[in-house]
Amino acid sequence: MGILAIVIVFAIIAWIDLLPLIRKRSWKGIAALLFFFIPALVLAVLWNYKIQVPSTLLTLGEALKSMGISYKP
């Protein structure tokens, strides 16, 4: 039941947010929406199945640190 609810909610959000962008042919807007929408959907499904997901902020921090972008406390 949980997966069905997640898919329905994400489908409604996609319907509301994506259709106007498609009508306007805003390709950059579509790309930006999907950039955040797809990972959010994947994380929601993983959390529903109780799969342990590492912190996205820690992963982002490590990626930025490896690129030399960090701050000194």
Kindly report the pTM of this predicted structure.
0.72
Rounded distance, CA 30 to CA 18, Å? 7
Counted domains in the chain: 1
Query: What is the rounded average pLDDT of the residues 12-23?
Result: 94
pLDDT tens digits, one per residue of 36-71: 999 999 999 999 999 998 888 888 888 999 998 887
User: Residue 61's domain spans which residues?
Assistant: 2-67
- Structure-block tokens of residue 47: 């959390």
Q: Is residue 72 part of a domain?
A: no
Q: Is residue 10 part of a domain?
A: yes
> What single DSSP character describes residue 4?
H
Q: Is residue 45 part of a domain?
A: yes
Helix (H) or strand (E) holding 46: helix 27-48
Q: Is residue 73 part of a domain?
A: no
Query: What is the rounded average pLDDT of the residues 9-32?
Result: 95
Q: Is residue 23 part of a domain?
A: yes
Query: What is the rounded average pLDDT of the residues 2-18?
Result: 94
Q: Is residue 54 part of a domain?
A: yes
Report residue 59: phi and psi, to 5°: -65, -45
